Chains A and B, each alone.
Chain A
Amino acid sequence: MSVVPTIRVQEAGFDLTAETAALSAGRVDVGGVASFVGLCRADDGLQALVLEHYPGMTERAIARIVEQACQRWPLTGCTVIHRVGRILPGEGIVLVLAASRHRVAALEACAFLIDWLKTGAPFWKREEFAGGGERWVAARAEDEARAQGWDGGSGAAG
């Protein structure tokens, strides 16, 4: 059975419990759901993160990464929700869920998805600090290396 993933780019927050429940609602073949929730930290007096994206391309890039995960692991469901706009410390930024009959596929697919989301989907983070300072977050070489570590699996590049 082919997976119908849930992919959303939205300003609003997300509900981990509700999204997790949705992946097994009405079915008894799901053995596990792996999740990753990325949160906004208050490093260096950060007051907010402001996330920008490329409407249209961002959704397509995420869909392509999800498609790669579905080809690579026998998933029963998959959810990616990425927030944009202004996000405060402690709030969620991104939610990744991967469901499968068995844990290994779910856990590996979840890690693959977040590694590729970091380097292969067009989002940009700007940090706002107390006192009005701001700076754009720089890409990290180790994030790129982690994504490439999945055999260059997604074919995307950021």
Chain B
Amino acid sequence: MKILYFAWLRQRAGVGEESVSPPPEVVDVGGLMRWLATRSPGHASAFADPAQVRMAVNQDFCGPDHPVHPGDEVAFFPPVTGG
């Protein structure tokens, strides 16, 4: 599973992209987030305030209940600020 981080989530996690193999009990994006937060103090800091984290699976915005599967591209980022 490919994980991408953007903006301050990338800075806090200390990585922009990583490949992970979460355990089978990780079935949705929310669960993935909680599991990723255990990878390092930086990851924990990135996910410390879940209300500030937005997500996408395979380049479509989604919520924490969205299922995840091996091979998915999952991205985490703050609320967008373009325009």
Pair A158/B54 contact, Cβ less than 8 Å: yes
Residue A114 at the B interface, CB < 8 A? yes
Compute how far the CA of A75 lies from the CA of B37 in the bound complex, rounded to whole angstroms: 46
Pair B82/A57 contact, Cβ less than 8 Å: no
- For residue A138, which residues in chain B have a CB less than 8 angstroms away from its CB? 79, 81
- For residue A136, which residues in chain B have a CB less than 8 angstroms away from its CB? 7-8, 78, 81
Pair A120/B80 contact, Cβ less than 8 Å: yes
Contact among B4, B75, B81 with A123 in the assembled complex (CB-CB below 8 Å): B81
Chain A interface extent, by class: 20 to 34
Contact among A56, A60, A124 with B82 in the assembled complex (CB-CB below 8 Å): A124
Q: A38-B83, A57-B56, A94-B83 are in contact. Are A124 and B4 (CB under 8 A)?
A: no
Pair B6/A122 contact, Cβ less than 8 Å: yes
Compute how far the CA of A2 lies from the CA of B4 in the bound complex, rounded to whole angstroms: 35
Contact among B4, B61, B77, B83 with A156 in the assembled complex (CB-CB below 8 Å): B61
Residue A52 at the B interface, CB < 8 A? yes
Pair B77/A124 contact, Cβ less than 8 Å: yes
Residue B19 at the A interface, CB < 8 A? no
With both chains docked as a complex, state the minimum distance between the C-beta of B56 and any C-beta of chain A, in angstroms: 6
Contact among B6, B8, B59, B61 with A56 in the assembled complex (CB-CB below 8 Å): B59
Residue A157 at the B interface, CB < 8 A? yes
Mark each residue of chain B from 54 to 83: 1 if its CB lies under 8 Å from any CB of chain A, else 0. 101001110000000000000101111111
**Residues of B with Cβ closer than 8 Å to A?**
4, 6-8, 54, 56, 59-61, 75, 77-83
**Residues of A with Cβ closer than 8 Å to B?**
38, 51-54, 56-57, 60-61, 82, 93-94, 114, 117-126, 136-139, 143, 156-158
